Amino acid sequence: MSHPSRPNLTSCHSADTLYSASTLCVGSVNDDHRRDGEDRYCSKDCTVQEDCSIAPTHEKKANGYHSTECNLQEAIQPDPVPDGGLRAWLVIVGIFCLAFTAFGCMSTWGVFQAYYEETLLKGSSSAKIAWIGSVQYALVFTPSMVVGRLFDKGYYHSILISSSAVLVLATMLLAECTLYWHFLFCQGFVIGLSCGVITAPSPAIVSQWFKDRRALALGITACGSSLGGTLFPIVIRALLPRVGFRWTMRVLGFIILTSLTVAVLTVRRRIPPSHPSGPLLGLKPLKTPAFVIWCVATLFVYLGNYTFLAYVASTAVSKGFSRDFSFTLVAIVNGSSGLGRVSAGIIADYIGSMNHMIPATAITAATVLAWPAARTQSSLVATSALYGLSAGSYGALLWHPILDLGDPEEMSRRIAILMLSLACAGLVGPPMSGEVNSAAGMQAMGFFAGGCMLTGVLIACFGRYLLLKKTWGKI
């Protein structure tokens, strides 16, 4: 414990470190500074700099005290981001499980859309059924503003546990739903909101453990959604004819329970909570033009992206293919998306995240435009595989460009605002596409979705130029 004569110094904070300068300074003062037999102590004035070392100098003063000036220049070394190690990779495993559960459920909506149209909600239109998935898409991203702030205050782990319990319970209760509004409430609102709460701070947690290899880490965690989106349709396809809808959903609930248990045990933050005192809905990130442009580009890209995921199975059924084949298409999309996400993380570390995302998304848009022309099983399989492979890049690296677009303490707000743009796209994209499909046919729906994605690509190119100030360069 420091003596009262020693002043308390504030802590030095940065995005990657948290050290107490007073502890360093007090710990470096030699006990010989106090004179034997005299109740006299050293007084010291410490000048805290960002990187400093303690170099004490002593001068005898008339009052009998020593004066110690601490020049802190190299004692406070930045705590390096681990960028690896057992603890860091365990965190990645946990976030992988979160993505497997939350975005895996969301990526499987196309299977439920096709099944509900044929059986449980046969009397409802495609656009009306699509609202269930749209609400789920939107609520996966909507809670990010509030949850991000609670993460900054240190409450995330308790929220993770409670939301995981709600998600498992809602999945089990989905088996008992019979009416349209039952599905809308349980699958749309409750499951969507729970998935959003557990995944909202994931990019911020990854950024605390990885820096130079951040793109790779984000790509690996994003593969969780691909694995979930691949496994869940296979499970549903195998179980529905054997045990029925109710037990199928209960099995999915047990799978989700196992995955979330692993996440609760492994996901941890590295940097202590910052306990911000500002307003909850701060709009400071919107003062950065490049960030705003990136959010608008993401909005347009995902208007088309959600369309393909929602309707690839149901349109295959409408063309005369079997339900089993339509479920397989959803699994192919998500499986190939996993390959795209892993490769995106590796490639982005070398050429830059935006340099990879923009051309890959242009390929995705072209695939969506060609989607209505696929009329055979082989062409649908090829379209789904190409779509998943190219679309996985945007999903894996979506967060990477914004992590450094502003102050570190505003990171959770930047993530939240970007998630709100995703929520808007998820809410209005599939129903709008459903209405276009009902009014003008599948070809018009493909043109609408592909055109939205191409618009997003052009806006992203403008944002890239605004950041780089030139045509070529790594970013």
For residue 60, what is the enclosing H or E element?
A: strand 57-60
Taking each helix axis as running N to C, give the angle between helix 156-174 and helix 144-152, from 0 to 180 degrees, rounded to the nearest 10: 140
pLDDT surpasses 90 at 204: no
Q: List pLDDT tens digits, range 47-99.
A: 434 444 434 444 444 444 444 444 433 333 446 778 888 998 999 999 999 99
3-state secondary structure labels for all residues of 320-355: CCCHHHHHHHHHHHHHHHHHHHHHHHHHHHHHCHHH
Measured distance CA(233)–CA(439) in Å, rounded: 29
- Residue 71 is classified by DSSP as E
pLDDT surpasses 90 at 392: no
pLDDT surpasses 60 at 301: yes
pLDDT at 67: 42
Measured distance CA(338)–CA(107) in Å, rounded: 12
pLDDT surpasses 70 at 242: yes
φ and ψ of 41, to 5 deg = -125, 165
pLDDT at 137: 83
Q: List pLDDT tens digits, range 11-26.
A: 333 333 333 333 333 3
Which residue, 167, 162, 331, 176, is CA-closest to 256? 167
pLDDT at 331: 87
Measured distance CA(166)–CA(240) in Å, rounded: 24
List domains and CATH numbers for the chain: 11-72 (no CATH), 81-281 (1.20.1250.20), 283-322+350-475 (1.20.1250.20)
Neighbour tally for 347: CB within 10 Å: 20
Taking each helix axis as running N to C, give the angle between helix 377-397 and helix 353-370, from 0 to 180 degrees, rounded to the nearest 10: 150
Please, what is the average pLDDT of the chain? 78
Q: What is the mean pLDDT of residues 297-308?
A: 89
